[in-house]
Homo-oligomer: A and B are copies of this chain.
């Protein structure tokens, strides 16, 4: 027990640092009730955290950088389900296997939490159950919003929503630094890389944004971007 306390404490410090501006609770999971934190892991861009079909032995919290979860279609195309930034948690499964792949978008550090079954976990500690529940609900809300976005919106509506989503997560003001490529954005929004590029260029011509470089986007007219999705 003293062993696990030591592990927990060192990990807590590491995680805490990366959680300073997370939009949700910043405490980590206690080292009990079916969750055991492993050492933090580092991944380089495009490196795989786990693949679709891998045994789901853990879920993960992002300490720094950005991770994407995605699925590959038989024709080689890719659909990105979600991006996870600092402080966010991904990789929950009820089944034995991961249903999606997870890959690093940028250089990033994640902490794995080995599971011993959610039933054990939920039954043993209120705080863990509540935390985990809240993370899953967050995922659910985002997934539902994503479905709505993909269903009935034009390319420019999708891109406006994407930019506003990214801006909301990094409350750094009106300039956002995109961690992902145009291809990532396209695969997230169900568009092609060309349409993403063209639409962003059009936004700049319309005075909605400023592209100081391909990845650095200034949101010049937040109101205008919001109005696109009415």
Chain B residue, CB-CB nearest to A26: B2
Residues on B with C-beta less than 8 A from A5 are 25, 27
Interface residue stretch chosen among A108-116, A128-136, A172-180, A206-214: A128-136
A73 to B229, CA, bound (A): 9
Task: Identify the interface centre among A6, A8, A74, A75: most chain B CB within 10 Å of its CB.
Answer: A6
A121-178 interface (Cβ within 8 A of B): 121-124, 126-127, 129-134, 136-141, 143-144, 146-148, 150-152
Chain B residue, CB-CB nearest to A30: B1
Q: Is A50 an interface residue (CB 8 A)?
A: no
A7-63 interface (Cβ within 8 A of B): 7-10, 12-13, 25-27
A103 to B4, CA, bound (A): 34
Q: Is A84 an interface residue (CB 8 A)?
A: no
Quick one: which of B7, B71, B190 contacts A150, CB cutoff 8 A? Answer: B190
Number of interface residues, chain A, beta carbon within 8 A: 57
Task: Identify the interface centre among A5, A151, A189, A190: most chain B CB within 10 Å of its CB.
Answer: A151
Contact call A73/B146, Cβ cutoff below 8 A? no
Q: Is A204 an interface residue (CB 8 A)?
A: no
Q: Is A101 an interface residue (CB 8 A)?
A: no
Q: Is A205 an interface residue (CB 8 A)?
A: no
Least CB distance, A149 to chain B, in whole angstroms: 9
Interface residue stretch chosen among A92-100, A193-201, A217-225: A92-100
A52 to B41, CA, bound (A): 41
Q: Is A64 an interface residue (CB 8 A)?
A: no
Chain B residue, CB-CB nearest to A227: B74
User: Which residues does A use to contact B, with CB under 8 Å?
Assistant: 1-3, 5-10, 12-13, 25-27, 71, 73-75, 77, 79, 81, 92, 94, 99-100, 118-119, 121-124, 126-127, 129-134, 136-141, 143-144, 146-148, 150-152, 187, 189-190, 230
